[in-house]
Amino acid sequence: MTNLQREGMEAARHELVTLDGLTAADGAAPTETFVINTRAAIAKLDAALNEFSCSDTARS
């Protein structure tokens, strides 16, 4: 993984962590709200970052 790819994944993870748990309203029906759950996507990014981190370490 390149530094640019890692930085992009880390930036995406940061944004998803920021959004997780927020309550949002539907623009068409503002009285309808829902909670944003990004935990599954964060877990996938963590797994990918960890996998590449381990493989980068193994190559060193």
What is the predicted pLDDT for the residue at 21?
A: 98
What is the predicted pLDDT for the residue at 16?
A: 98
pTM over 0.85: no
Q: DSSP of 1-60, one letter per residue?
A: --HHHHHHHHHHHHHHHHHTT-EEE-SSSTT-EEE---HHHHHHHHHHHHHHHHHHHHH-
What is the predicted pLDDT for the residue at 52?
A: 85
What is the predicted pLDDT for the residue at 60?
A: 54
What is the predicted pLDDT for the residue at 58?
A: 62
| Mean pLDDT by groups of 10 residues along the chain of 60 residues | 94 98 94 96 96 72
